[in-house]
Amino acid sequence: MNKSIAVISRYALLLLLTILSIGPFLWLLSTALKGPEENIFAYPPQWIPKQATLQNFVAVWNEIPMAAFFYNSLVVTGLTVVANVLISILAAYPLARMRFKGEFFAMLTVLSSMMVPFQVLMIPVYLICLKLHLTDASGEWAAWAGLVLPFSVSGFGIFFVRQAMLNLPKELEEAAVLDGCNSWQTLWLVLIPLIKPTLATLSVFAFLTAWGEFLWPGIVLSDPQRFTLPVGLVRLQSAFSADWRLIAAGTLLSLVPIIAFFLALQRYFISGATNGAVKG
């Protein structure tokens, strides 16, 4: 009896947490589908629109340069994800599979970097970007470089990939060496295929971080045509005064790439999320 009560309580708690998690999203969707004749602040709240319409999505797409915002965000996010994964692999491999002087200090430095918030480094990084002309005043590619480079190295990513590599048996490398593989071939042909779930999980984390970044693009960018989506969405409130239907529609449009990217890597994500949590 006590076991049944514990199970029921556990599932009730999970159901409550699920409702609290998806509730704001459902309200956002309801608001975006309501027409101008419906009161979105009615009490009691009306979750289901009387006459659902997609006009809010069309208005947002046509009235502000959403296509340009999407393009800029996709390019910057894609480059950030690729840089994060590549650099994490190259840094994690020697830390996980090689022994050298200063190994402990190098790993300690990586872990320490995770404790320093980017806001502390923002001013010196911005001054460096100005010195190197990595702003949109110097062109599109310079602006993308200024947005990508500060986030291309992640202490978490290096630690995450290193932990996954530590779980792989050393016999794999020994067999690869006997087959004539050098260190590069062992890394790319033997180790990387075995940690694909970890790399997919890291890609999802990097995508979420880069896609939702608002503060840094808002500092580096000044040309509205080069705004990323989070910065561009702020213009919705000024462009449409306080029409929350259109703001909700624009916010939902920004979630589509995140959901699509997660679904594409979903089969790797579950196993990869716990891969780096086991001590090697």
Task: Give the tens place of pLDDT for each residue, 153-174.
Answer: 989 999 999 999 988 888 888 8
Query: Is residue 87's pLDDT more than 90?
Result: yes
Residue 280, pLDDT score: 43
Task: Give the tens place of pLDDT for each residue, 1-52.
Answer: 677 888 888 888 888 888 888 888 888 888 888 887 777 777 777 778 888 8
Q: Which residue did the predictor score with more confidence, 217 or 64?
A: 217
Residue 270, pLDDT score: 60
Residue 118, pLDDT score: 87
Residue 149, pLDDT score: 92
Residue 26, pLDDT score: 85
Q: What are the Cα distances from residue 226, in Å, to 71, 72, 143, 247?
A: 9, 6, 8, 20
Average pLDDT over residues 64-93: 92
Q: How many residues are given for the chain?
A: 280
Q: Structural domains in the chain? A: 1-53 (no CATH), 56-277 (1.10.3720.10)
Q: Rounded to an integer, what is the distance from CA 190 to the centroid of its chain?
A: 27
Query: Is residue 89's pLDDT more than 90?
Result: yes
Query: Residue 265 — very low, low, confident or very high, per pLDDT cuts 50/70/90?
Result: confident
Percent residues over pLDDT 90 in the chain: 19
Average pLDDT over residues 234-245: 67
Task: Give the tens place of pLDDT for each residue, 170-212.
Answer: 888 888 888 888 888 888 888 898 898 889 889 989 999 999 8
Residue 237, pLDDT score: 66
Average pLDDT over residues 119-142: 87
Q: Which residue did the predictor score with more confidence, 67 or 266?
A: 67
